[in-house]
């Protein structure tokens, strides 16, 4: 009897010890499981956080300007090349200038100093040939090479009444002569020949032009042809054209051609004495009319839709250089007057008009010429106004149209 009780007591003790052991093991298991879950949660939380961060590179918050990818080379060029407006940029009006579009660019700072309709779409007319010139020069290796003009090239240009340098059917012309023929008299015949020489077809050449525009960051420009003839899908802005002129003048060959007043082509069978080519820009000005600054390169443009245009490049006495684009002006001299007035804002040596919007015009008008002295300097009266006289009483060739009201 006592033995059984003893056995029973021992069993109870064993059971208690087993229970304690089970409890202890259970506690360790619970702790281990909990720790494992905690590590899993940390890893899961860390992964989620990392995923969220990665997603933020691809999903921009509403209104956020964060780029989803690294800027492309094109985007970098746009941000680098596109001009900014100076804090003191002068906004021009129709009381100041004749041109509806204008941009004065400081080449060194890449800042716009004066403007009107700077970023509005405009037709560049023959200012287009600035891009044609740049693309051609960048793709020509032999400037003494020749190309033969054909009737098929000239005939459409005659029908379109496009300006021509004067090359004839079957005339073999040097590439150098074609470049000058394209720019100085704005010859479409020379332009077409260069296009075919460089790229075989105008379509191929225009692709090169648009590729170059994209490379320069000209984001508001599209070319349809190399000559600048009217096409509603052929457009640019004054800012984009200022960027183009700035780039063109970096090239020594382009700079020389755009700064040439006149040039005689090489003798050919059709033109034994060559052709005397004269700059349409410098035939209207000397370039030194504004004291303290000289226009050293220029290209005109015109057709009915674009009206009168001028791209010019000037250098001041302190060495600083500037680009000026003016477009959609009534007469060929209006862009010149605008250039003088706008460059005058830099030097303070040429008056900016303030009352052009009050000018009265009529259907009847006479052709007047600008009077210059023996040194070619403009003659002004006691009020500082430029003196003009009827063309019939002068041998000068620089003209402007004056209304009856102005004559009085």
96, 72 contact by CB (below 8 A): no
- Residue keyed to tokens 């500037």: 322
Give dist(CA 265, CA 180) in Å, integer.
8
| 0.75 surpassed by pTM | no
Give dist(CA 16, CA 203) in Å, integer.
98
User: Could you tell me the two tokens for 187?
Assistant: 């010859």
Give dist(CA 192, CA 180) in Å, integer.
13
The pLDDT value given to residue 243: 98
The pLDDT value given to residue 396: 37
pLDDT tens profile 34-89: 555 444 433 433 333 333 323 222 223 223 232 333 334 444 455 588 999 999 99
Q: Residues with Cβ < 8 Å from 385, sequence gap 6 or more?
A: none
Q: Within 10 Å of residue 194's Cβ, how many Cβ atoms?
A: 28
Give dist(CA 35, CA 41) in Å, integer.
10
In the chain, which residues have pLDDT < 50?
1-7, 37-76, 361-367, 391-408
Q: Within 10 Å of residue 219's Cβ, how many Cβ atoms?
A: 18
Give dist(CA 266, CA 271) in Å, integer.
8
Length of the chain as a residue count: 408
Q: State how far Cα 5 lies from the chain centre.
A: 110
Q: Max CA-CA distance within the chain? A: 158
Give how far Cα 217 sits from Cα of 15, 69, 105, Å: 88, 19, 16
Q: Where are the alpha helices (DSSP H) in 57-110?
A: 73-81
Give how far Cα 367 sits from Cα of 318, 335, 385, Å: 38, 17, 18
Q: Within 10 Å of residue 170's Cβ, how many Cβ atoms?
A: 12
Within a 13 Å sphere around the CA of 376, how many CA atoms are in the beta-carbon half? Answer: 11
Give dist(CA 25, CA 4) in Å, integer.
31
Q: Residues with Cβ < 8 Å from 346, sequence gap 6 or more?
A: 104, 113, 292, 293, 316, 322
pLDDT tens profile 180-235: 999 999 999 999 999 999 999 999 999 999 999 999 999 999 999 999 999 999 99
The pLDDT value given to residue 119: 96
Q: What are phi and psi of 134, to 5 degrees?
A: -60, -45
Give dist(CA 367, CA 100) in Å, integer.
24
The pLDDT value given to residue 250: 97
Give dist(CA 335, CA 284) in Å, integer.
10
Within a 13 Å sphere around the CA of 297, how many CA atoms are in the beta-carbon half? Answer: 25
Give dist(CA 77, CA 268) in Å, integer.
44
């Amino acid at each position: 009897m006592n033995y059984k009780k003893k056995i029973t007591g021992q069993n109870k003790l064993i059971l208690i010890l087993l229970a304690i052991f089970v409890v202890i093991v259970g506690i360790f298991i619970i702790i281990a499981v909990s720790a494992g879950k905690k590590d899993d949660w940390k890893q899961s939380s860390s992964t989620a956080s990392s995923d969220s961060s990665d997603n933020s590179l691809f999903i921009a918050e509403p209104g956020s300007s964060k780029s989803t990818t690294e800027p492309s080379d094109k985007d970098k060029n746009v941000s680098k090349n596109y001009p900014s407006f100076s804090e003191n940029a002068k906004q021009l009006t129709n009381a100041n200038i004749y041109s509806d579009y204008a941009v004065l660019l400081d080449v060194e700072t890449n800042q716009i100093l004066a403007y009107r309709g700077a970023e509005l779409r405009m037709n560049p007319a023959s200012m287009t040939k600035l891009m044609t010139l740049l693309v051609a020069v960048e793709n020509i290796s032999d400037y003494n090479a020749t190309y033969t003009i054909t009737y098929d090239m000239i005939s459409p240009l005659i029908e379109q009444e496009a300006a021509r340098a004067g090359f004839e059917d079957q005339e073999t012309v040097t590439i150098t002569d074609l470049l000058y023929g394209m720019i100085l008299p704005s010859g479409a015949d020379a332009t077409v020949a260069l296009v075919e020489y460089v790229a075989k077809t105008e379509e191929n050449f225009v692709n090169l032009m648009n590729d170059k525009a994209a490379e320069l960051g000209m984001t508001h420009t599209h070319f349809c042809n190399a000559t600048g003839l009217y096409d509603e899908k052929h457009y640019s802005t004054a800012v984009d054209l200022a960027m183009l002129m700035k780039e063109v003048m970096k090239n020594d060959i382009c700079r020389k051609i755009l700064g040439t007043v006149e040039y005689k082509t090489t003798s050919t069978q059709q033109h034994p004495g060559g052709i005397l080519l004269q700059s349409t820009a410098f035939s209207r000005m000397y370039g030194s009319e504004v004291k303290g600054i000289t226009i050293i390169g220029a290209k005109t443009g015109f057709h009915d839709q674009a009206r009168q245009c001028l791209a010019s490049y000037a250098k001041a006495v302190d060495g600083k250089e500037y680009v000026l684009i003016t477009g959609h002006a009534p007469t060929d001299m209006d862009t010149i007057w605008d250039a003088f007035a706008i460059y005058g804002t830099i030097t303070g040596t040429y008056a900016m008009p303030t009352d052009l919007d009050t000018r009265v015009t009529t259907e009847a008008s006479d052709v007047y010429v600008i009077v210059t002295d023996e040194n070619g300097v403009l003659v002004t009266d006691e009020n500082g106004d430029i003196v003009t006289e009827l063309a019939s009483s002068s041998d000068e060739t620089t003209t402007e149209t004056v209304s009856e009201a102005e004559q009085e």
